[in-house]
Amino acid sequence: MSQKTISDIGAIVNLRSFRLDKNPNVASLFNKGLWGFSKRYRRRWGFLGKGARVLFYGDKGIRIAARIEKKHESSELVEEWASDPTGYPYHIILNLINKKVGKINPIARKELVDVYNIPLAKQGFRGMGLTIFGVRPKKTPGITYPIEKFNEIWTEFLNRNNLSEIPSGPSGIADEITAYVAEKSKMISQFPNMSEADTISTIVEPLLGILGWEILDLDEVQREYQIKGRKGTDSVDLALKLNGQPKVFVEVKSVGTALDEVAERQVINYAFNEGVDWCALTNGREIRVYGAFYGKTTQQRLLFRLAIEEYLNNLNELMRISKKKIQKLGDYAKTRYATKMIKRWIQKSEDRLVKDIASETNLEKEKVQEAFKRFMADLK
């Protein structure tokens, strides 16, 4: 079998269900990023390699995207596979791009059939635990569909769920961020009174470099970018540019300076007045990202905030301001802003909604209020 590059191969894995009560084996995927195949899939498993993309199908739709970190054949017991702990010896270890399925907008079975022309989906991939997409499917045993179809499905799934890829491998973003967090957290502890200039050069710019911005290219990252201020000319610490045009303003405070509302309004005003959609405020310990035109108040404009120790577990969020993903931030910002406004409207109507629901369902008002509070807590 000839060796394929990771871009030449994709796979859909049929789990049947993501629910533990229906498919206990799925616990290994959520707990360990581990999945396995029986001996009948040995040939197809052979096509998979480190970095290959995998989509997981279950409950009538694709609900998880992942990349393979490594694969190996193993006879060891897997405790999550209680019914047959050694029956799936061909293992893959995955980096899950999304680890939860509850709020995912899936690519449904009907879409796979009608839009992407995947006939196997018509019966829910019944009897097919692993479907391989690759080049020359008609001439290569084990490859069922062309890779172009997989690329379309993959891209649509990520886009509709506002997901960002986490590259795999030693040089991947996850490993770089892990090393960055360890090194910079130690530096911040050692030099808590670091100046603003040092914060920019030793903490902020290295992070932007990991996110794909060319720090030494003035056409891409410009320091002390000149803007119009209330009293003449002012400047923002960093302007991240594409095709020579600013896309993100970054205002930096020293490591020891708290990020307050005055600083938030400052950077938002800079972006708003210059017609720049996105801006960020950071002191090295924390980063806050705003959409200058997505809301009226500071909180409405806030897209996300992360402390440095949260970067690794929230890579999808952090990657939104990467050079590769910044052009897609608008879709996320619109959805985020709409969600905040919906939540605000519901909160304003709480008394009427609770009363109407209690009347409609004959439930105690206290129970409805309790359910309402849980619902609002889940509505991010």
Q: What is the CATH number of the domain that holds 203?
A: 3.90.1570.30
Q: Cα(22)–Cα(264) distance, rounded to whole angstroms?
A: 48
Average pLDDT over residues 333-345: 75
Do 49 and 109 sit in the same domain of this protein? yes
- Res 6 pLDDT > 50: no
Do 194 and 318 sit in the same domain of this protein? yes
Specify the higher pLDDT residue, 348 or 104.
104
Q: Which domain holds residue 127?
A: 10-160
Q: Cα(300)–Cα(102) distance, rounded to whole angstroms?
A: 25
Do 182 and 327 sit in the same domain of this protein? yes
In a domain, 78, yes or no: yes
Burial state string for 33-56 with b = 16 or more CB within 10 A and e = fewer than 16? bbbbbeeebeebbebbbebbbbbb
Instruction: Provide the pLDDT confidence category of residue 342 given band limits of 50, 70 and 90.
Output: confident
Do 118 and 200 sit in the same domain of this protein? no
Do 48 and 182 sit in the same domain of this protein? no
**Two structure tokens written together for 168:** 């795999």
In a domain, 179, yes or no: yes
pLDDT of residue 380: 54
pLDDT of residue 115: 95
pLDDT of residue 354: 81
User: What is the distance in angstroms between the CA of the first residue and the CA of the last residue of the chain?
Assistant: 48
Average pLDDT over residues 74-88: 90
Do 182 and 326 sit in the same domain of this protein? yes
- Res 3 pLDDT > 50: no
% of the chain residues with pLDDT over 70: 94
Do 21 and 79 sit in the same domain of this protein? yes
In a domain, 1, yes or no: no
**Two structure tokens written together for 42:** 């040995």
Q: Which tens digit of pLDDT belongs to each residue from 32-49?
A: 899 999 999 999 999 998
- Res 312 pLDDT > 70: yes
Do 263 and 329 sit in the same domain of this protein? yes
Do 311 and 359 sit in the same domain of this protein? no
In a domain, 5, yes or no: no
In a domain, 2, yes or no: no
Count Cβ atoms within 10 A of the Cβ of residue 346 and give its class: 0-12 exposed, 13-18 middle, 19 or more buried. middle
Q: Which one-letter amino acid corresponds to residue 364? A: E
pLDDT of residue 210: 93
What's the total number of domains in the chain? 3
pLDDT of residue 379: 57
In a domain, 206, yes or no: yes
In a domain, 341, yes or no: no
- Res 277 pLDDT > 50: yes
Do 23 and 44 sit in the same domain of this protein? yes
In a domain, 31, yes or no: yes
Compute the radius of gyration of the chain from its Cα atoms: 24
Of 100-104, 107-111, 168-172, which gets the smallest average pLDDT? 168-172
pLDDT of residue 35: 96
Angle at 322 between CA 263 and CA 264, to 5 degrees: 10
Do 152 and 225 sit in the same domain of this protein? no
Instruction: Provide the pLDDT confidence category of residue 166 given band limits of 50, 70 and 90.
Output: low
pLDDT of residue 259: 96
Do 315 and 183 sit in the same domain of this protein? yes
Q: Which tens digit of pLDDT belongs to each residue from 213-272?
A: 999 888 999 999 999 877 778 999 999 999 999 999 999 999 999 999 999 999 999 999
Q: What is the CATH number of the domain that holds 72?
A: 3.10.590.10
